[in-house]
Structure 1
């Protein structure tokens, strides 16, 4: 899903002899795309999809080449909001909101960055996919999570399952909208984002917007562009339309005159759902039915899988002059790092009483050298991986993967490989998992390789 941060210098504006103080703190908007692996973007070497606006965003901003999340929505999103690894928040599988569950993620017990920024005076909003509680059963869940306003997909209504794309059921500040019956849900959400940015800008109030873009998650449907041209629905067309909508957000920043003081951050929540992609080369040597293609090689696997294809996502930063234009940062990034980054950029100190596992990327956002992590942690169901950029170790299967030639990964039997390097990596990552699991959250150990 990406983020807008407004870094404005403190100033005063005089109108009719009145002096109005302009808040100098940044605005933050995160565009968090649903089921979008790194290989779908051209700026990451992707060859199967058309993403001109996001590619241009990367050319005009900063691209992180090694950003990682858990391979499915709930663990990824809870780590995002809380800054905690999966073994801490324990939300390791998809919360069954689609089944109408009464369960919910209790953010009153696990503080969020939205709560932090709201308490600091930010206007906070959220959109799109909110699969962290059944809203009919928990109508105050979004407000309790730190957001003043919302326009989100309400998955259940009056005991019936709803849809997210055409004729969407959208809950806007507690009420289901009745004015979007024939519209495309993702279009409505971007309108809401732009309205929230405009209103906050006119009020000279800093804002946080978490825009949970619902594309390109299935079902695969025709986009408005498909309908106008008569094209069939496809994952590629949904990715292209997502790209177009991201461009609308960037254009709105320019139109509002806040680009020089605004960071926009774009990120995927987990890897691509490979079953949604039909490989036109399937049947040829090494070409599987859902293989995707990059300049570096073939990508197999995706969402639900603890491999590179399931966890490696795009992360792009765009905006003010501080962002190093056309740069690529190869630092490892875990989704938990966004919590302290947002607070840092907003000038808000996270209280010592709130434990988090992430560390700030604010320095990297501004083209400076920042603290580097030596590993990331992600998980699904009963399994957790520790990945150091070269070796991937699995807690459940006790396997080791050599990821030195991505996108290809090789399973290694550390005890039989005859490689002291592999054996050392296995033991080190295993010990690291045990240490992290048994401890309170702290900043990741540095230089442990």
Structure 2
């Protein structure tokens, strides 16, 4: 799957690495990349939140270079794809958070693969969200160690069934996948991921390592240990700031306030765990040889303080994409400095490669630029263009897209192709909260940016990876395999948590043979239900004679090739879908 990468050879530098004139370090620097999930720009003390307690991250911010104009995608899977590859997410095959749109093409080359080829130990703990089946798992994308949950969130229907069937407690004693094997740790998920991160640091302290700490919190469901919930249980949100009618959070309902209290508790737990990681780096005498990066994946999902940015998670307005980004390295990266130039997730891979003096692979068509010289203060931020988009389903040019150039940003939010007045044009330097639409006063600039948006969309839409990914079934790497609703495709999966979600799994059979299938429900299937499975032109059915939660179809001969799989339960009253489908190739 990685032949393009295999023929790419990197001549790594020998001896010492001089990252900055202030400091020469004796070996390849370690990299720790910490990212949280659905934590907005305003969910930290250092960004002005008057309530949330994040002292460890605040202290980290004080000794970091802060990229104050940094942007991710509006939702999580696209952000993760761009962060790891340096490419717009649609090029990698990732265009949604489920609906067969959150599987990254295995041909993509990740930062973990490049670093691993250059002597690094690589690990991920937490959220992956770029494919749960072979050949799309972290282990196939460069991570030598992985401890991850399934799908896009713990307890979602793309996660392991043991978590999905515990909707009120899935963040505790979470069943996880460690190097593709199920494990059953005890405790709170963020603490568990941090425990694994600390073990990884200790085990690899003598070798350069790349550790991706990808916390799933504070993504919903908003579950947290009681001691953290108690920290904010009496928070009233009744200050003058909370009541300012010019701010969106003044419209918080009681449910929003309840959610905010829980998010702040989860944020403080995250902060404590970040503190644990930073303390371990210091304990292992790695501070002067470790790059630490902290960011969040997109804006806040629920309404609360966000400094004033417009929009929430899912929106290409600043509230959905403008996130904090901190980068530090004791002695070789400047401290307590703001970098105000436009930067984005696609810049991370080239920036890190320059930081550790690894040439950027010529086989990668990257969309980002290294900003490492800017971080060091050796280069001014040049004017650059950045494209951002997301909508449910397949990409559309004007539904939820934006193009940045310099200080200006053109927004297409349900815009009409032939009417430029349906677009939004904003000068972010003068109007960071996107309150004043300049389209009518500067229509020529708006049209110019629309042309760039159009050409970028056309280029990205031609990506060969944008077609649905095919999960390889019956391989020695994963047999049996479990297909989940995370990767079920089609218009019928909008209600993906409900019984009546219907769709197609796209798979690839690599060898002729007999295959067994098991349709798995989360509650008993009524007696007399007709259960069906369809694999292209092959269809099998049987009636359920007892109230089991599973129905098996055995000894189905499949020839090598591509198949679209459908499975459903049929009664006079309804057609429902299984939540999981197990696929086993007979030996």
Q: CA deviation at 1:410?
A: 2.5
SS at 2:128 equivalent: coil
Which of the numbers 16, 29, 34 marks the counterpart of 1:31?
34
Write the distance in 2 (CA, Å) between the matches of 1:259 and 1:143.
28
Is the Cα–Cα contact under 8 Å of residues 334 and 377 in structure 1 kept in the other structure? no
Which of the numbers 139, 145, 163 marks the counterpart of 2:141?
145
Task: Map 1:113-262; keep pairs closer than 5 Å.
Answer: 113-133=111-131, 135=132, 137-138=133-134, 141-155=137-151, 156-157=159-160, 161=164, 165-178=171-184, 180-181=185-186, 183-201=187-205, 204-223=206-225, 225-226=227-228, 231=233, 234-262=262-290
Q: CA deviation at 1:221?
A: 1.7
SS at 2:374 equivalent: helix
- 2:311 is equivalent to residue 301 of structure 1: yes
Identify unmatched segments of 5+ residues in structure 2.
1-12, 18-24, 152-158, 235-260, 416-421, 462-587
Q: Give me the TM-score of the superposition, normalised by structure 1.
A: 0.79
Is the Cα–Cα contact under 8 Å of residues 361 and 370 in structure 1 kept in the other structure? no
1:267: which partner in 2?
Answer: 295
Which of the numbers 357, 378, 382 marks the counterpart of 1:347?
357
1:61: which partner in 2?
Answer: 64
The CA deviation string for residues 300-337 of structure 1, in whole angstroms up to 9 with x for no partner, is: 52101110100000001122212211111101111000
Q: CA deviation at 1:51?
A: 1.8
Write the distance in 2 (CA, Å) between the matches of 1:224 and 1:250.
24
Change (3 A) 1:255 1:406: farther
2:435: which partner in 1?
Answer: 410
2:423: which partner in 1?
Answer: 399
Q: CA deviation at 1:231?
A: 4.8
Larger RCO (CA within 8 A; separation ≥ 6)? 1
Is the Cα–Cα contact under 8 Å of residues 393 and 400 in structure 1 kept in the other structure? yes
Write the distance in 1 (CA, Å) between the matches of 2:104 and 2:360.
19
Change (3 A) 1:373 1:196: farther
Write the distance in 2 (CA, Å) between the matches of 1:10 and 1:158.
49
Is the Cα–Cα contact under 8 Å of residues 339 and 375 in structure 2 kept in the other structure? no
Write the distance in 1 (CA, Å) between the matches of 2:384 and 2:456.
13
SS at 1:410 equivalent: coil
SS at 2:50 equivalent: coil
Shift >6 Å, 4+ stretches: 227-230
Is the Cα–Cα contact under 8 Å of residues 383 and 406 in structure 2 kept in the other structure? no
**Which deviates the most, 220-229 or 33-42?**
220-229
Q: Give me the TM-score of the superposition, normalised by structure 2.
A: 0.61
Is the Cα–Cα contact under 8 Å of residues 322 and 367 in structure 1 kept in the other structure? no
Is the Cα–Cα contact under 8 Å of residues 117 and 208 in structure 1 kept in the other structure? yes
Is the Cα–Cα contact under 8 Å of residues 65 and 334 in structure 2 kept in the other structure? yes
Is the Cα–Cα contact under 8 Å of residues 399 and 411 in structure 1 kept in the other structure? no
SS at 1:323 equivalent: coil
Which of the numbers 62, 71, 76 marks the counterpart of 1:73?
76
Change (3 A) 1:41 1:401: farther
2:369: which partner in 1?
Answer: 359
Higher-Rg structure is: 2
SS at 2:34 equivalent: strand
Write the distance in 2 (CA, Å) between the matches of 1:108 and 1:367.
36
SS at 1:245 equivalent: helix
Is the Cα–Cα contact under 8 Å of residues 8 and 26 in structure 1 kept in the other structure? no
Write the distance in 1 (CA, Å) between the matches of 2:74 and 2:231.
34
The CA deviation string for residues 53-93 of structure 1, in whole angstroms up to 9 with x for no partner, is: 11111111211110001110111111112211245335222
Write the distance in 1 (CA, Å) between the matches of 2:124 and 2:204.
14
SS at 1:38 equivalent: coil
Change (3 A) 1:256 1:224: farther
Q: CA deviation at 1:39?
A: 1.7
Change (3 A) 1:160 1:152: closer
Q: CA deviation at 1:226?
A: 2.6
Q: CA deviation at 1:406?
A: 4.5
Task: Map 1:40-119; keep pairs closer than 5 Å.
Answer: 40-96=43-99, 105-119=103-117
Write the distance in 2 (CA, Å) between the matches of 1:271 and 1:216.
11
Q: CA deviation at 1:263?
A: 1.2
CA RMSD of aligned residues (A): 2.9
Identify unmatched segments of 5+ residues in structure 1.
1-6, 12-21, 276-289, 442-449
Change (3 A) 1:191 1:291: closer
Is the Cα–Cα contact under 8 Å of residues 226 and 237 in structure 1 kept in the other structure? yes
Is the Cα–Cα contact under 8 Å of residues 8 and 261 in structure 1 kept in the other structure? no
Write the distance in 2 (CA, Å) between the matches of 1:198 and 1:336.
30
Is the Cα–Cα contact under 8 Å of residues 354 and 372 in structure 2 kept in the other structure? yes
Task: Map 1:412-431; keep pairs closer than 5 Å.
Answer: 412=437, 414=439, 417=440, 419=441, 422-431=442-451
